[in-house]
Structure 1
Amino acid sequence: MTDLSPLTLQTPAEHPFAQFVRILGKGKRGSRGLDRSEARAAMGMLLDQQVEAAQVGAFLMLLRNKEESPEELAGFTDALRERLQVPALAVDIDWPSYAGKRRHLPWYLLAAKCLANNGLRIFIHGGGAHTAGRLYTEQLLEPLGISLCRDWPAVAAALDQHGLAFAPLQDWAPVLQQMIEMRNILGLRSPIHSLARILNPLGAKCGLQSIFHPGYQAVHRDASGLLGDTAIVVKGDGGEIEINPDSPSHLYGTQGGVSWDEEWPALAAQRHVKPASLDPALLLAVWHGEATDSYGELAVVATMALALRGLGQPKEQAFAAAQSYWSARHLSR
């Protein structure tokens, strides 16, 4: 006689991370953003590699499509900071460098170098050459005499000796670096590209952030405010922290949880002609006074002024100090 009793089926348990994908992707009416605690929990699972590859891609692209909120960015940063084991280092400026330059040389590196020569302690971090056709900070460290630091003791030593250190994201947050490198798989940049700019892993006195896409600057400023950080967010040239002297700049600042805004006019009377090619040798030639570059030198001074503004100097004082530093750079090398 045939046994017609129902089969016993095992329903697979839902993956713990699935809830976060569902929150973001449950359709026009059912989806919503993550609150700060949810974002912290989700990023914690990502950093602890407790997530399937398909979930990572889905999560990142749903976030990108929705556009991340200040609460999400703050929660993601909370998760990373909870997992970092960093020494107590005095740092004045956190300087994320993740975009690379394609229209102009990375003049911001001369700004950072000049500020460091005048007593500021600057921590630069970046995410490698993830997009073809761009010139990245990592490619210019050696010729500019900027220390490449592969661990925190090396960062501490470089800051003490030179006031300037660069550490690849790969060495202190490898999972985030892996997600950045998914760009060529997913076809789009993920929110990790912008998240990296807000991390301020060493708790610098001021974090500078360059966010290229309109509308995101205020979001990042608000996220830094939620974290209790002092920060200035600008639309830097090419996505790097560099003031474009040919265009007005809007500064989105936060300090002590209070937001402020400031407009800086263009510095050049007329727009400069974009160089036909990028020759990194020009950076050193200008640094040593062997060549001049109107666009580059205006960008350097204004970018230094931006950092000094972030440390509390009024705009006019910041520009005066920046110009003085630049004029005397050959004395402080």
Structure 2
Amino acid sequence: MADGGLTAAIEALACGRDLAQEQAAAVLAKIMAGEASETQIAAFLIALRTKGETAEELAGLAETMRALAVRVTVARDDLLDTAGTGGGRPTFNVSTTAALIAAGAGCAVAKHGNRSATSPSGSADVLEALGVRIDLDAAAVGRCIEEVGFGFMFAPAHHAATRFVAPVRKALGVRTIFNFLGPLTNPAGARRQLIGVSDPAMLETMARALARLGVDRALLVSSEDGLDEMSTVAPTRVVEVAGDDISSYTVDPEDAGLERSPAQALRGGSPQDNAATARAIFAGEPGPARDLALLNAGAAIYAAGAADGLRDGVE
């Protein structure tokens, strides 16, 4: 069809039919080439959400975003990313703090993130407050990862084609599949990941999509207290992907040798507030914030293959 199958895809979704992975990839390629109207984009996103996204559809969309991304080239195959879907209960920037701890423990971290859409401080915001430049080009980010073990990839700089979708998402004001694509589209091709998922119903879907895309090890986590992180307040559901194998289990903070924390002690604030929390954690200041960061850093270190299990990673 003249629109590259977009109308047919919208019709299929509206009738409750799933798209094949290749079909989903082709539709997003058309959208990201600027060849779809905002009305068509909105119809596609809402029809997909209403039907319910599948792993095949998620993987297809991620394939297109990966193919169109500005790539970061690093001469190693053990890169780690810690990212989240956003939309969870607000805390300080846990995954970013955990990523820096994991880098300090010797992991090679290719951190992919953005400014906040749902809280006062996103990963880009807190890193700026910590003095990190978020505007480096791809070559400079690659050098940072190789030389110091940490590099930050600011999502808009690496996924410029999403500019055609951004105004539609903002106008819709509701969750769409793009909330779940960010953690699946690391521009450096990180194959080891800790992914926080705000909607526990999407854990298995995202896990199956990752298995289709190829991943060495990924932990997808969603806690019972509403965090898109590992939690020290309540049990956390974990779906682990190791190659083609997918397993599911529950983790309590005590499993990692940590005490439970009061939820109010973990609330976040402005980027400057969260940067101060991160600095206190890096300085070894004990307390609930440090325990939460250690739990997530331990999970990241395990995902990176640098520890035999969660407790080993925390220790």
Instruction: Specify the TM-score bucket, using the shorter chain as the normaliser.
Output: 0.7 to 0.9
**Residue 128 of structure 2, aligned match among 136, 142, 152:** 142
- In 2, Cα distance between the equivalents of 1:101 and 1:219? 18
The CA deviation at 1:234 is 0.8
- In 1, Cα distance between the equivalents of 2:263 and 2:155? 34
The CA deviation at 1:303 is 0.8
Q: Which residue of 1 aligns with 2:13?
A: 24
Name the CA shift for 1:39/1:101 in 2 (closer, same or farther; >3 Å). closer
Amino acid at match of 2:56: E
Which fold has the larger relative contact order, with Cα–Cα distance below 8 Å and residues 6 or more apart in sequence?
Answer: 2
CA RMSD in angstroms, aligned pairs only: 2.5
Within 5 Å, which residues of 2 pair with 1:159-170?
159-170=145-156
Amino acid at match of 1:171: A
Using structure 2 for the length normalisation, give the TM-score: 0.85
Identity %: 22
Q: Which residue of 1 aligns with 2:243?
A: 256
SS of the equivalent of 2:111 reads: strand
Which moved further from structure 2: 36-45 or 178-187?
Answer: 178-187
Name the CA shift for 1:203/1:162 in 2 (closer, same or farther; >3 Å). same
Name the CA shift for 1:238/1:173 in 2 (closer, same or farther; >3 Å). farther
Q: Which residue of 2 aligns with 1:196?
A: 182
Name the CA shift for 1:75/1:216 in 2 (closer, same or farther; >3 Å). same
Within 5 Å, which residues of 2 pair with 1:255-274?
255-267=242-254, 270-274=260-264
Amino acid at match of 1:201: P
In the alignment, is residue 95 of structure 1 matched against residue 87 of structure 2?
no
- In 2, Cα distance between the equivalents of 1:309 and 1:177? 35
- In 1, Cα distance between the equivalents of 2:163 and 2:291? 33
For structure 1, which runs of at least 5 residues remain unmatched after alignment? 1-12, 324-333
In the alignment, is residue 66 of structure 1 matched against residue 51 of structure 2?
yes
Where does structure 1 differ by over 4 angstroms across 4 or more consecutive aligned residues?
Answer: 236-240, 268-271
Within 5 Å, which residues of 2 pair with 1:27-106?
31-89=16-74, 90=76, 91-97=78-84, 99=86, 103-106=90-93
Q: Which residue of 2 aligns with 1:117?
A: 104
Q: Which residue of 1 aligns with 2:234?
A: 247
Q: Which residue of 2 aligns with 1:285?
A: 280
Count how many residue pairs are aligned between Structure 1 and Structure 2: 301
Q: Which residue of 2 aligns with 1:184?
A: 170
Which moved further from structure 2: 200-209 or 298-307?
Answer: 200-209
Q: Do 2:62 and 2:184's aligned partners in 1 also have CA atoms closer than 8 Å?
A: yes
Name the CA shift for 1:116/1:305 in 2 (closer, same or farther; >3 Å). same
Using structure 1 for the length normalisation, give the TM-score: 0.81
The CA deviation at 1:198 is 1.4
Q: Which residue of 2 aligns with 1:216?
A: 202
Q: Indicate the structure (1 or 2) with the bigger Cα radius of gyration.
A: 1
The CA deviation at 1:104 is 2.2
Amino acid at match of 1:298: D
SS of the equivalent of 1:123 reads: strand
1:61-94 deviation line (CA, Å, top 9, x unaligned) = 1111122100001111122223335253135212
Name the CA shift for 1:138/1:108 in 2 (closer, same or farther; >3 Å). same
Which moved further from structure 2: 189-198 or 94-103?
Answer: 94-103
SS of the equivalent of 2:239 reads: strand
